[in-house]
Amino acid sequence: MTRKHAAWIAGGLCAAGIVLLAAMRHQQEEPMLITVQSESVTVAEIAAETAPLRSPDPKPLTRTTPAETICHTTVTEYKITAPDRNLNTADAAALKRVSGVGDVLAAEIVAYRESIGGFTRRAQLLEISGIGEALAARIMSEFEIPDELPTDEPDEPDEPAEQGSPPEPASPANAEAPAETQAQETFDLNTVTKEQLMQLPDMTESAADAILKLREQLRGYQHLNELIFVKELEPDYIRDVLFERLYLADGQTTE
C-alpha cells in the first residue's frame, strides 16, 4: 500500500469520526452540514505507482536449434576363408575336423601323405594304421583328392606262353605302388594289456587305465558297448576306433 492510499483511508476514517462526534453533541440542535472532501484515485495511477513492485518482464524465451550432427560410418571388410578341402594340402588342424581323427592320427595322415608324394586314391587311407572303412568314408566326405585316379581294376590274366619256350620270370605288378596294406592288429577286450591299448591311435594313458579298471569291476566285459561307461572315451572314438580294433572272444559284437 502506498502513502497516498494510506492518507486517503485515514482521511475517510477521520471524517467519519467527526460526523459521529457532532451527532452526539448536537442531538437537540439542528443538523449540521459537514462536507468531506475525498480525493479520487484512478486505476491507472495505482498501476503506475505499483509498477516498481512488480517483477520485471521476463526475457522472451528463445528456442535453440540443435547443431547439425554429422555421422561418420566406418566400413570394415571381413575376409572369410573357406576351409581347405584338398586332402593333399590340408594341415593337421583341418584334418581334425573329422570325427574320430585326433592329434596322433592327423599327424600320421600328413606323414604318410608326404612319404607317398600325395594321395591319388582314397583307398590309400586304409594303409594308415587306425583308419578303417567307416573312418575313411567320413574323411572323404570332408575332403577330396584332385585328379583322383579310378579304383584299381583286377589285372587281366596273362596269355599262355608258347609251348617250348621257357616261362618268363614274373615281374612284380605295380612295382612303384606303395607296399600292401598291413593288417591292423586286433585285441580281445577281456585280455588286452595296457601296452597293447596304447598302440591304438589317439589312446591316452588315463583312458587305457579306465578301460582296464572297468573290466575288473565288471569281472569281464559282456558287450563292446559297455565301453560307453568309460568317461574318458568319446562316443565317436569308441565307434570308429575301438569297435574296429577290439573284440570279445565269446563272439559278442556291437549289435
Question: Residue length, the chain?
Answer: 255
| 16-62: pLDDT as tens digits | 777 677 666 655 455 555 554 545 555 566 556 655 555 555 555 55
Cα angle for residues 67, 71, 74 (degrees, 5° grid): 165
Q: What is the pLDDT of residue 175?
A: 45
Structural domains of the chain, with CATH: 3-53 (no CATH), 76-150 (1.10.150.310), 187-247 (1.10.150)
Kindly report the three-state secondary structure assignment for every residue of 136-150.
HHHHHHHCECCCCCC
At residue 14, φ and ψ (nearest 5 deg) are -65, -40
| 76-129: pLDDT as tens digits | 554 556 678 899 999 999 999 998 898 999 999 999 999 999 999 999 999 998
Q: Which of 251, 185, 193, 187 is nearest to 222 (CA)?
A: 251
* Maximal C-alpha separation, the chain: 195
pLDDT above 60 (res 72): no
Please state, in angstroms and as integers, the Cα–Cα distance from residue 2 to each residue in 41, 47, 105, 134, following that order.
Answer: 12, 11, 109, 112
Model confidence band, residue 70 (pLDDT cutoffs 50, 70, 90): low
Q: Which of 140, 167, 163 is nearest to 151 (CA)?
A: 140
- DSSP per-residue string spanning 96-162: TTSTT--HHHHHHHHHHHHHHTS-SSGGGGGGSTT--HHHHHHHHHH-B-TTPPPPPPPPPPPPPPP
| 157-209: pLDDT as tens digits | 555 545 555 555 555 544 444 444 456 788 999 999 999 999 998 889 999 99
Q: What is the pLDDT of residue 36?
A: 47
Burial of 80 (0-12, 13-18, 19+ CB in 10 A): exposed
The torsion angle over the Cα atoms of residues 65, 67, 71 and 72, rounded to 10 degrees, is 170
Q: What is the pLDDT of residue 249?
A: 82
Distance CA 110, CA 250 (A): 38
Q: What is the pLDDT of residue 138?
A: 92
